Structure 1
């Protein structure tokens, strides 16, 4: 059963949302991915958000650009955590999306990650789930160790070849 719902307003969001899906797969977290426009098909959106709890979702990751109402509307209906991913936009560089998602009214919080922050949204969702899942917590700790080792390897390479030869 999917524990995380990944929802986006358009297939143009797929490059970012696929990073969320890939990270959840890496961490062994089941998810369901859906494209729904809150503005163009509000009845379909409403049913999605209303039925998410009974589907077994514990967290929803919602990506949206421009007016970016999808995460906030999910949070208004779904009683558990919603993580918003603001999408980069050509007109305002994603600041419009960021402000739309992060400026929620009192009582309807949306956790918000960086513009185009698909992987971080998945990691945050996994951390939320790991509060009651020791195996997932262990996988998160292993991922953190992998990141540390990658940085150590890069530093060792820098020390070995020097900065002038590092990128050659």
Structure 2
């Protein structure tokens, strides 16, 4: 299993690091590249066209402002592409969100929330887990752990409310 992570600028790394952390937690290999749909389109095309041959199973693309990166990547690969619109500029990520989510018919890009790189990684894991029982079990355990944390916090809250 291998995921491609592409971002349009080095300033995107703090947000996209959340995805890299999720992949590290689950033991999923990543190929990470910085390439811009507008400033280095040939590099984006080369990355996307060769991704399948390099063993990549899914791609996450994070970009802000005009945010055409995920769509350009999707145009050059049959692999699933997840767009992470990044906050920035005068529109604070709304432009990136709309540019990422409003793809033309026949060219889907899954899109997560503005700055939602962690959820983008989790969506990629769900896609990969379809054909990997071990990863699916890890993901189920992750979800159970989250559920247990919420239940424990609720118990603590109920105890505090009784004391009030």
Fold match (TM-score > 0.5): yes
Residues in 1 aligned to 2:44 and 2:132: alpha-carbon distance in whole angstroms: 29
Residues in 2 aligned to 1:152 and 1:100: alpha-carbon distance in whole angstroms: 38
SS in structure 1 of the partner of residue 22 of structure 2: helix
Aligned length: 164
8 Å contact 2:65–2:89 — kept in the other structure? Answer: no
Superposition RMSD in Å: 1.6
- Cross-structure match for 1:94: 93
**Structure 2: 5+ residue runs without aligned partners?**
none
- Cross-structure match for 1:56: 55
Runs of 4+ aligned residues of structure 1 deviating over 6 Å after TM superposition are none
- Cross-structure match for 1:32: 31
Residue pairs, 1:1-168, within 5 angstroms: 3-162=2-161
Residues in 2 aligned to 1:128 and 1:145: alpha-carbon distance in whole angstroms: 19
Q: TM-score, normalised by structure 1?
A: 0.93
Q: TM-score, normalised by structure 2?
A: 0.95
| Pair 115,164 (structure 1): closer, same or farther in 2 beyond 3 Å | farther
8 Å contact 2:103–2:109 — kept in the other structure? Answer: yes
